Structure 1
Amino acid sequence: MSVSTMELGDGLTVSRIGFGGMALSDVYGETNPDDALRTLHQAVDRGVTFIDTADVYGEPRPGTEGPAGTNEELIGRLLADRRDEVQLATKFGITGEVTDGVATRGDRAYVRAACEASLRRLGTDVIDLYYMHRRQLDLPIEETVGAMAELVAAGKVRHLGLSEVTATELRAAAAVHPIAAIQSEWSLWSRDVEARVVPAARAAGAGFVPYSPLGRGFLTGTLTPERVAGGMLRDHPRFTEHFAANQRVVDLVREVGEETGASPAQVALAWLYAQGEALGLPVVPIPGTRSAKRVSENAGAVEVRLTAEQKARLDGAADLVQGGRNLTTSADWISSGRE
């Protein structure tokens, strides 16, 4: 069975669940490109046709500077055969590795050059949804979105999105051009965006695309300390020193799953759909996986229905969490750090 569709904002219709391409890069350990491509084909076969990537995802090439682009090249291999089936999202703005003090750019010249580079790597002539991945904080967001709007006028981009913006930044951007989607981390254990960003998105007519909707794998109950130690989460307290304490969240998700006949991943995703309905805006999560089996499992979440009592219990999960969601020591990296 194929998944249904949902309209985000600005007339952009996508599959009700998306696929986060970052999982197919080496950020969580080594990957095999051919296996990754097979997983992408499985996703599209299953009806998960909203594919998310970014120019910065992937391993940097020795001797080169700027975004790696290797994840876009992988997605380009999928698009070579199935472009008409895919709603393609990519991002620009991060100009180096994700570390403390990471560099960003949003000036007009960079926006245009980044788009051209992404189009080349993806092997397509248009991007369905183009995100500002992170904003350049010393440049008015209106300038960056104005440059993005020029790409829409030129036919290189169809819709605009923003990632990890504050409510104030979103309102300023939406005054320049309609915003189809906001992408930020959001899950039953990372809910800071609900205070200001989600209401601003609803008011702007933008949909919400939660990244890491499964808590970077933690909420599935399959993440181990050994896997954490071998990837990008090895210095993150939520996943290291607080790993054992945060199992209480996993236990709660697993408990609800046993009641509904759903997996922990499906429960976590079903909670996001229910929360989107409660808060009045379209929500399309983009879980990532390297496993074709997990693609089908995640897609099955669109059929899971939580009772009001189960939803209320899951609402309390955030109170059990120890450790914040920011992967860096810079408060500016996530929207709540700037609000």
Structure 2
Amino acid sequence: MSSDIEQVEPVTAEEAQRAVDLVGRVERIFGQKVIGQDALRTALVSALLAGGHILLESVPGLAKTTAASTLAQAVSGSFHRIQCTPDLMPNDIVGTQIFNYATNEFSTQLGPVHANFVLMDEINRSSAKTQSAMLEAMQERQTSIGGEIYPLPHPFMTLATQNPIEEEGTYVLPEAQMDRFLMKEVVTYPAPGEEVEILDLVSAQGRGRKPESIEPITIEEVLYLQSLVSRVYVDLSIRQYIVALINTTRGGGPRPLPNFTDHVRVGASPRGGIALMQVAQAIALMAGRSYVVPDDVKALRHAVLRHRLVRTYDALANNVAPEALIDAVFATVPTP
């Protein structure tokens, strides 16, 4: 297996520079509409390059929807927003067959999930049946309507949001299903200076002032970037480092943390290790490098692992943050 990885054609300096230029255009377009939120921007772009889905958690009003639509615009992708409610049915998102009385035939109407970027707004308000249909589409990259298979567009990225402060009328995502998201980003309030910039931006838009025109990148260029990410070199020592981190979350690893299982009931799965590697490859490419360094693995460790650790009742009762547990794991595993 290691020999297969070593045989992959390495990313050239020219390809790395082109990737930096393309990502820079996306980030400049993003920065025109979303003030601050640098962590959110990095998480969204790296998730896109790694070909994964992302779960966004925050209170309302922190530009999650704006960020999702802006990312779609920056890469010339189609965008659909689905407002989740308890009465939303799987057919409402996947699509359905409609009978035409004039022709006595069924025609297929594709649902809003058939887009490059799909925002599932407040996914925890939809029923378990609807959540399952969406998670299946995310995993299989296709939908089935009337026995026919309809592939989803490529690239396809789901951005799901959930509000942590309201529990009435919500259906919590199963912990096992959350593992299907490449990352879970917790969006925080902007700094006071950034809030002033937000007010300035809204005021400028009210006066009709338009931002600088920046050419979006194309879907073909997104696919090109994704192909480069898979070719970013990951040394054996880095892969062993990732495996050691994942095993430590399960109470094992080269240096097991004492009493760690008192706080974590279930550690990260092999899918968590794959996510750490793929996100590290994306971070490396965004920095213009053709190889992964340990800091790339650490960069988005909270976003990659916070939803993959199932905490014990005692940890929940004592409000032990998953981020603190992740930091403890990274602190104990020797860096290569």
Question: TM (normalized to structure 2)?
Answer: 0.31
Q: Which of structures 1 and 2 has the larger relative contact order (alpha carbons within 8 angstroms, sep 6+)?
A: 2
State which structure, 1 or 2, has the greater radius of gyration over its C-alpha atoms: 2
TM-score by length of 1: 0.31
